[in-house]
Structure 1
Amino acid sequence: MLLGLTPVLILGAAAAYYLTRPTTLTIAVAPSGGTEPALLRAYADELVRRRVGIRLKVIPFDGVRESAEALNAGKADLAVVRPDVAMPGNGLTLVVLRELAVFVAAPISAGITGLPNLAGKRLGLLAGRQADRTLVGHLADHYGLEMPTEAATGILSPNAVSIVPIEEAEIEAALRDRRIDAMILVSTPTSPAARRVVGLVQDASGEDGATLVGTAETGAVLARWPRLQSTTIPASLFGGNPRLPAEDVTTVGSSYRLMARANLSRSVAAEVTQHLFEMRAALADKVPAAESLTHPAYEDSADATSARLPIHPGALDYYEREQETFIERYESWIYLVAILAGGFGSTLAWLRQRLGRIRRERIEVATTRLLELRSDARRETDRGRLATMASEIDDLAASIARHALNRPTEPRTLGAANVAIEAARSTVRRRIGQHGLPEGAPDVT
């Protein structure tokens, strides 16, 4: 019985191991030195610490273009993507890691009240990412402004805007010395870096004060560059007296997104999304950028899956609280195991029945032979042949006894065999008594 159950136990153990082992996903992170790689490494460590069912294998890349290409090529299951730089064809959004806004921080004295007023101005841009310069170039092109490849010196043409790469420590002095007229930022407005830069502009503005300028024509800009998004900088975000900004500032921007390959299972995508939000508070203690995590904006499920930057159905399951249950997730496997187990059980029962029949047939054959010997002995007069029959009866009795000891035997079959043994022996004994035993014959008395 135990031997028969062994395959079932092995099958059950294999199924349990498969269903409970952690799922390991490869994640491509970028940009090098950014907050996103640090955040997702902390997330990977927290998944291990809490022993949840997801594990992340982190692969770093220098830029988001490379990480998007890794996802598109199938070398990663997840990736950090900035859609305005490179959008993988198989990428669907799980989480918005950080939203970026494009806005200008300028002294009021610079006379910048809108992006068209940037003609003839020099804008400081924090040195670093080429993607930020490209995005600013798109906006300049929308307003018909020229943007020289290199920072211009001397007097600018009336229709040009010059981008001056600058370090944060140089901002205040550059504004006072008129090396730049304002700062243009491609940043998360609530980030510490953005607050520091705006603070430096305020300090350099003196009593005149500073202002923030966004892109008022967001609809037109998004129509031309649909991978951008509209965002709003709330009034008084940067404080001050008077407050800065004085009113909500509408502008455009981009985002860093955690994207998954489109064919990643819905349940796994939902788990990755759920754990990231559930662990956000713990991650924020190590990486403050975790506070910027948010879900993609959408109105309904149809909008979420048909948008220009569609959401993964698994992430949508989490946002809509429609995640698959354990039974729904492994329904096919459960049915398969049940079918296999049922089939195996039926096969095992058939084998047991067949083996039992074979054992029973062996005893029945011996019983039939014993009855034949009894019938033959009643007609036999040769003493030598009667002695041979007596020996065969002993051998058949021993064979039946061995079967009964080593294997379960039906009482009815065993009872019939015992009756046949006694009947055959009795007949042979009576016939030998009538004709006498030859010398050396077995004693059947």
Structure 2
Amino acid sequence: MGFSDMFTRSMATEAPRPPGSTPPRPHKMKAMLIVVAAVLATVAAVGGATYWLNRPIHLRIAVGPPYSDDVKVIQSLSQIFSRDRKYIRLRPIITDGTSSSAASLNAGTTDLAVIRGDIELPKDAQAIASIRKNFAVLWALNGPGKRGAIKKIEQLAGKRIGVIGRTQANVNLLKVILTQSGVDFEKVQVVQFTTTGFADAIKNEKLDAFLAVGPLNSKITADAIAATTKGGKEPTFLSVETADAIAQKYPVYESG
């Protein structure tokens, strides 16, 4: 029922006017209808604005690589925000890795990104929270015999090193570790692998050592160690003796 119908019915059913009374002028009735309509329209507009102001804000957050610990953390946070936060929702956007996440933030396709501290922040971006710390694990593969066994980083010169993860940040970290340990980075051969499917990828590769970067008790790192030590090979974990010097020279890295 429209406003005009409502008022027409009201006028039609009202009691007879006393003799000599002046009937309401049409323009006054029209003005009243306009006022009522305007008030209702204003109330409706305010209600709509309240809805838009109170509806949840959806933030796209880039995180990767797939199946990584970072992805699991953000997915858990997304569930928590959906349950406990009324006005904020997180929408994870899975990327190939931290470099891709930084690129998506820089391109404006996401609102937030999980980026490692050793990757340069995109222009106009700023860090808002520290989720966790990453640890670099460097191990060599030695056969049953001890002859020629790699026990120190200094012995990696001229060797082939596998790096878990396609991000350039891992290669940069390896370069820093080797250089600070007196190893010419140009004299080693680096082979990068994805964080998934590397167990099959390394079968035909002859590698002497591996580097993985991830949180403490990282499943990706644990799987990489297990995959690289099949067939009787034993891992020898290489201590980064220059960790303190690296932390002083490169503040983005911490020793500990």
Same fold at TM > 0.5: yes
Answering whether residue 231 of structure 2 is matched by residue 193 of structure 1, we say no
CA distances 1:377-415 after superposition (whole Å, capped 9, x unpaired): xxxxxxxxxxxxxxxxxxxxxxxxxxxxxxxxxxxxxxx
Corresponding position: 1:139 with 2:173:
no
Query: In the TM superposition, what is the alpha-carbon distance from 1:112 to its structure 2 partner?
Result: 2.8
The answer for the alignment partner of 1:181 in structure 2 is 208
C-alpha distance after superposition, 1:50-69 (max 9, x if no partner):
67331134445444334324
Give the superposed CA RMSD. 4.0
Please name the residue that 1:161 is paired with: 188
User: Max radius of gyration: which structure?
Assistant: 1
> What SS does the corresponding residue of 1:28 show, helix, strand or coil?
strand
Deviation for aligned residue 1:105: 4.0
Q: What one-letter code is carried by the residue in structure 2 that aligns with 1:181?
A: D
* 2:77 maps to 1:77: no
Residue 67 of structure 2 is aligned to residue 29 of structure 1: no
Deviations 1:8-40 (A, max 9, x none): 988986786466432332323344675544653
| 2:126 corresponds to | 91
Aligned to 2:221, the other structure's residue is in SS state helix
The question of whether the paired residues in 1 share the 8 Å contact of 2:170 and 2:213 is answered with yes
From 99, 102, 119, the equivalent of 1:65 is 99
Separation (CA, whole Å) in 2 of partners of 1:70 and 1:164: 26
Deviation digits for residues 94-137 of structure 1 (CA, Å, limit 9, x no counterpart): 24256242422433835333322212333233464443223212
Query: Which residue type is aligned with residue 154 of structure 2?
Result: P
TM-score normalised according to structure 1 size: 0.38
CA contact (8 A) 1:123 1:180 kept: yes
**Gapped runs of 5+ residues in structure 1?**
149-159, 232-445
Aligned residue in 1 for 2:86: 52
Matched with 2:250 is 225
1:115 aligns with 2:153: yes
- Give SS of 2:127's match: strand
Structure 1: distance between partners of 2:65 and 2:245? 29
Query: What's the offset of the Cα at 1:139?
Result: 2.1
The amino acid of 1:141's aligned partner reads T
2:10 maps to which residue?
A: none
| Residue 44 (structure 1) shift | 3.4
State the AA in 1 paired with 2:255.
S
Secondary structure at the counterpart of residue 229 of structure 1: coil
CA distance in 2, matches of 1:132, 1:41: 24
- Partners of 2:249 and 2:216 in 1: CA distance: 24
Aligned to 2:15: none
SS of the residue aligned with 2:184?
A: coil
Between the aligned partners of 2:201 and 2:95, the Cα distance in structure 1 is 29
1:27 and 1:58 in contact (8 A); partners too: yes
Task: Please state whether the residue corresponding to 1:132 is helix, strand or coil.
Answer: helix
Instruction: Output the CA distance in 2 between the equivalents of 1:12 and 1:49.
Output: 28
In 1: Cα distance, 2:229 partner to 2:163 partner:
16
Structure-1 residue corresponding to 2:29: none
Identity %: 27
Counterparts of 2:242 and 2:58 in 1: how far apart (Å)? Answer: 44
The amino acid of 2:246's aligned partner reads V
For the 8 Å contact 1:70–1:76, the answer to whether it is kept is yes
Partner of 1:396: none
Q: Mark the CA change 1:13 to 1:173 in structure 2 (over 3 Å): closer, same or farther.
A: closer
Q: Is the 8 A contact 1:65 1:86 kept in 2?
A: no
Q: Which amino acid aligns with 2:199?
A: E
With normalisation by structure 2, the TM-score equals: 0.61
CA separation in 2, counterparts of 1:26 and 1:194?
27
For residues 210-221 of structure 1, what are the structure 2 equivalents within 5 Å? 210-221=235-246
Is the contact between residue 107 and residue 205 of structure 1 (CA under 8 Å) also seen in structure 2? Answer: no
Paired residue type of 1:212: F
Aligned residues: 211
How has the CA–CA distance of structure 1 residues 203 and 65 changed in structure 2, closer, same or farther, with 3 Å as cutoff?
A: closer
The CA distance in 2 between the partners of 1:29 and 1:121, in whole Å, is 32
Structure 2 vs 1, CA of residues 67 and 38 (structure 1 numbering), >3 Å: closer, same or farther?
same
Identify if the C-alpha distance between structure 1 residues 14 and 104 changes in structure 2 by more than 3 Å, giving closer, same or farther: same
CA contact (8 A) 2:136 2:211 kept: no
Q: 1:106 aligns with which of 125, 133, 141?
A: 141
